[in-house]
Structure 1
Amino acid sequence: MFAILGTVEFDLITYFDGLEISYGADYAEHALIGRKPRLQHVGDKLDEIKIDLVFHASYCKPEAELLRLRKAIAAHEAMSFVLGNGDYKGRFVITDATATGRQTDKSGSMIALEAQLSLREYTGEDAKPRPLAIVSGSSPLPLQAQLNKLAVPGVVATIPAISPLSQAISMAKGALNTASQALTAVAAVRQLAKSDPVSALARLPGVSATVGGALPGLGAVAEQMGGLKNITVVASDAAQTVQRVMRVRGEMSSITQNMASANAGNLLSVLTSANGAIQRVDSEIRGATLPLARMTAAAVTRQVAG
């Protein structure tokens, strides 16, 4: 799972143990004669995040990334924190950082570096809430009522405009997630065919429709990403994403065609042959994670104009 802090990209050591988020509220205690004290809410505490991360030479320069973090600490810089799925957590400052080298090459250059960071929420001088930078593919736009809860008194909150880059990122993640879920359904029918081929054959048309239904979205993503080719900051990552999305679309189209020829006699062999395509699609989806993460960083840190 990739995440981004400012423009620094990293991989969580584990999906759950590597990320700890704490929330809280402050209460003042008022003493009362002959009674227990009364609590009064005086405000919310700043959110705090602790992360265990690893920089690896396979996708970055560990020492350079660590240097960027050190510079951020020294500059007291507030940075946007975004998970690889596009979820924007807000702006944070680094309060503590420790690093441990785990692997070097024969010349002493760092190959793998583990670090532990403590982040604290930064609200700015006026404590004015910042609008969401992007919206993840699996999440709807925030409701107006939800935004109004965050608004400064006297200021009407509005739904933030979504840039073409953010739209493309959201579309890509949503389409790839849909493709992954569709192929999970294919794998489930394949497993069922081993023990109950009649039931599996009955479910096949619905599964085939699900796989076919993912194709238009993938095509739309390729078109949307193709429109980013003139934006220098993301052009390379957009082109790589388009290639991977089109390969996913090709594999899924092939699976749909093969399933259309399935019958009681060849059902299991047709579904078994789809297994290789499923693995290739999974590889392409995982390969798209890093370029999408880099584009997410560009969107969140406003490197690309809306």
Structure 2
Amino acid sequence: MMQGCIGEVEFAVSPAEVFTWGSMERKRGIRFGEHSVLAGTPRLQHIGRELDTVSLAIVMDSALPEATPCERRIEELETLAEKGEEQALAFGATYQGLWVITAVSVTARVMQGSRILRADVTLELKEYN
């Protein structure tokens, strides 16, 4: 069952594998300019908002033979990041806008030899505007 996507990479959960996010953190900052004044404290001026950032904690489990290997999923995400292009982000059927991947972090949780069976991957995204 599809859980969402970033670009062409679909997140899904099935009896054979897990490839979905475990959590999502979104941050929105607001920008202010600071102006010095003579004989007084500086004044702030609202300039607007910063670009949003999102951190997606992705859970991968491909222990069953018919599952897509974690290494291939990780490679797909790294390739997407290296393109440096904006990608559509969707959670379920809800479109979240265009984003770029600024970082991919991988933690292998269970390995069998050199094969990763379970991994946590963190995607750092920045709003594309």
Amino acid at match of 2:123: L
Structure 1 counterpart SS, 2:73: helix
Structure 2 counterpart SS, 1:33: coil
Query: Is 1:11 aligned to residue 17 of structure 2?
Result: no
Contact map agreement 1:55 1:61 (CA 8 A) in 2 = no
* Moved segments of 4+, more than 3 Å: 58-61
Amino acid at match of 2:125: L
- Distance in 2, matches of 1:77 and 1:61, equals 25
**Over residues 171-230 of structure 1, what are the superposed CA-to-partner deviations in whole Å (9 max), with x where a residue is unaligned?**
xxxxxxxxxxxxxxxxxxxxxxxxxxxxxxxxxxxxxxxxxxxxxxxxxxxxxxxxxxxx
Equivalent in 38, 42, 48 of residue 37 of structure 1: 42
Query: Is 1:115 aligned to residue 121 of structure 2?
Result: yes
Amino acid at match of 1:35: G
- Distance in 2, matches of 1:78 and 1:30, equals 35
The size of the alignment, in residue pairs, is: 117
Where structure 2 has 5 or more consecutive residues not aligned to the other structure, the ranges are 12-18
Amino acid at match of 1:100: T
**Over residues 26-62 of structure 1, what are the superposed CA-to-partner deviations in whole Å (9 max), with x where a residue is unaligned?**
1111112233322222232000011211122266432
- Distance in 1, matches of 2:5 and 2:103, equals 17
Q: TM-score, normalised by structure 2?
A: 0.77
What are the equivalent positions in structure 2 for 1:279-294 lying under 5 Å apart?
A: none
RMSD across aligned positions (CA): 2.2
- Distance in 1, matches of 2:117 and 2:101, equals 24
What are the equivalent positions in structure 2 for 1:231-270 lying under 5 Å apart?
A: none
Query: Is 1:96 aligned to residue 103 of structure 2?
Result: yes
**Over residues 77-115 of structure 1, what are the superposed CA-to-partner deviations in whole Å (9 max), with x where a residue is unaligned?**
21111112x22221111111110222244x643322211
**What corresponds to 2:82 in structure 1?**
74
What are the equivalent positions in structure 2 for 1:136-215 lying under 5 Å apart?
A: none
Q: Which has the higher contact order (CA 8 A, sep 6+)?
A: 2
Q: TM-score, normalised by structure 1?
A: 0.35
The structure whose residues are more often strand, as a share, is: 2
Name the larger-Rg structure. 1
